[in-house]
Amino acid sequence: MAEIEDKVGRHELEKYIALLPGVQVALDEVRFEIAARAEELLLQHRLEGHARIDVVDGAVDKYVVLDDERGKAAALSIEYGRAADVVVRTDKNGRTYLAMQGAMDGLFILARAANLPKKRKGKVHLG
């Protein structure tokens, strides 16, 4: 019985195919389309936020990223929404206080741009 080798050189067959120049070009094209749709969707909702759409190359894959440099997990809230919550904040003088963080529906910017189902991934707590 014949056996089929699942490697091409040093790569697994799937990785070898994914790294072919034509496949990488096709991934770049699809990523560009998704990123352009995501940027358009984000601009429709941006008031004063710092969020932006970015693209990243992985070892094989191509990524479209909703990035928010504020470091408060705002990108996660933008995508999936958040429940109302009481959070601990610190003012510019170093005093700690409690603040009410209002509920927000997710905008599903990335999911909509990539034509994926809008689905919240369980309870998201942002403290």
pLDDT digits (tens, 9 = 90+) for 29-80: 999 999 999 999 999 987 667 889 999 999 999 999 999 876 566 888 889 9
Question: Which domain covers residue 55, as residue numbers?
Answer: 9-78+107-113
Integer CA distances (angstroms), 67 to 82, 91, 102, in order: 17, 24, 21
In a domain, 66, yes or no: yes
In a domain, 70, yes or no: yes
Bridge partners of 104, per DSSP, are 82
**Structural domain count of the chain:** 1
Q: Report yes or no: 58 and 23 within 8 Å, Cβ to Cβ.
A: no
Average pLDDT of span 104-123 = 84
- Nearest CA to 14 among 48, 47, 61? 61
In a domain, 119, yes or no: no
In a domain, 30, yes or no: yes
In a domain, 16, yes or no: yes
Q: Tell me the two tokens of residue 72.
A: 């408060």
For residues 51 and 81, what is the distance between their CA atoms, to the nearest angstrom?
A: 14
In a domain, 1, yes or no: no
What is the DSSP annotation of 71-121? SSSHHHHHHHEE--EEEEEE-TTS-EEEEEE--EE---HHHHHTT------
In a domain, 3, yes or no: no
In a domain, 84, yes or no: no
What pLDDT is attached to residue 126? 46
Average pLDDT of span 15-37 = 96
